[in-house]
Amino acid sequence: MDNEGSKNIKPERKQFLNRWGKLVPTFIKNYKKWVLGVFFLFLFLVSSLFLLAMNPVPDKIVYGMSFNTLYARELGLPWEKVYDAFLDELKVRHLRLAAHWPMVEPRPGVYNFSELDYQLERATQVGAKVILGVGRRLPRWPECHVPNWAKDKGWESQKESILRKMEVVMNRYKDQEAIVAWQVENEPYLEVFAKEHCGDFDEEFFLKQVDFAREIDPSRPILITDSGNLGLWSRPYKHSDMFGTSVYVYFWNPELGQFRTIIPAWFYRVKDNLVKLRHGRKETILIELSAEPWLLEPISEVPIEIQFTRMNLKKFDDILKYAERTRYGRQYLWGGEWWYWLREKGHPEFWEKGKQLFSEKVSE
């Protein structure tokens, strides 16, 4: 009966059974080799990650602060008082400033330097060091800041105006001792964010901006930034003299509510070492460490109680500890204008925390 049944098996099925009949015993016989192979591959990957995460702990963290004139005005604050308080009360000695296009060229060919002149003069007085951002895409929403007179112009015409504005700004300030680097655009490769305001990323023009900035002032490094959470880093790092990453720990959106990043702090060290291996060693800094609530509406329209659910001192402490574990020696905080606004509303806690922070981490 068995012999008769085996004769009725189709040749294709018989060939299949014979093949697997040989493979299965072979696999069982060699399973130890497979297990060892998988184990050593796993060990290699873990060891590689461990080595890539081996950035040394800095002797100290030098804190800086971003200051944004347009944001201070949006909060209804006298920007001069806020900026002076950064320097005189918080004792900030490392600043990131921005030459927003609407601020410095409110009308075509008509320039206004009153804000930046004041800010750089005061920075020089106290011995502060400044990274000055130039271009169209600079910090704060809507990311790409375009004056009303240029919004209806075609992109080709805008590009000419952007280069002309960069040239005027950089030539005016390149003899300022306070300036230590030029930031060209802000997170330019983060195309998915604010695309409705910025359009498609024109990498060819961006690289032209970088080369143009180097021609105007070859004595200072060009800083290019990228998102820490979403950016790949390779291209911005490749084209920079200095590289800066943002670090955001707490987020909020209508669908998910508030959530904390799932990215471990050591992952920043791994990314940092990977781009260094590929493109060579350059100075890298944490250029944007968020210490304000994540909101979709203007702060003035959101109750303070809601703001404190998105950002409070407990979260701030958590953010600072997280950032320390990234092991960046220079870290620029983001949100000091909000701290000042809170103080004016009778909530000085963040401002006082800032005073303590900058007094403990002395700027060099």
- Give residue-wise pLDDT tens across range 86-144: 999 999 999 999 999 999 999 999 999 999 999 999 999 999 999 999 999 999 999 99
Complete domains list, the chain, with CATH: 2-41 (no CATH), 60-360 (3.20.20.80)
pLDDT tier for residue 43 given thresholds of 50, 70 and 90: low
Beta strands 257-260 and 250-253, pairing class: antiparallel
DSSP 96: E
In the structure, what pLDDT confidence band is assigned to residue 1 with cuts at 50, 70 and 90? very low
Given a cut of 80, whether residue 5 has pLDDT beyond it is: no
**Structure tokens belonging to residue 29:** 């016989």
Convert the pLDDT of each residue in 302-329 to its tens digit.
Answer: 999 999 999 999 999 999 999 999 999 9
What's the pTM value of the predicted model, to 2 decimals? 0.88
Residue environment code for 31-41, b if the CB has 16+ CB neighbours within 10 A, otherwise e: eeeeeeeeeee
Q: What is the mean pLDDT of the chain?
A: 90
- pLDDT-based confidence at residue 21 (cuts at 50, 70, 90): low
As a whole-number percent, the residues of the chain with pLDDT over 70 amount to 84
pLDDT category of residue 12 using cuts at 50, 70 and 90: low
- For 217-274, list the strands marked E by DSSP: 222-226, 242-247, 250-253, 257-260
Q: What is the pLDDT of residue 273?
A: 95
Q: Is the pLDDT of residue 31 over 80?
A: no
Q: Is 186 exposed, middle or buried (0-12, 13-18, 19+ CB in 10 A)?
A: buried
Instruction: Check whether 13 has a pLDDT greater than 80.
Output: no
Cβ pair 135, 227 in contact under 8 A:
no
Closest C-alpha to 268, from 51, 64, 53: 53
Q: Which helix (H) or strand (E) holds 180?
A: strand 179-184
Determine the Cα–Cα distance for residues 167 and 217; give it in Å rounded to an integer. Answer: 10
> Do 327 and 58 touch, CB atoms closer than 8 A?
yes
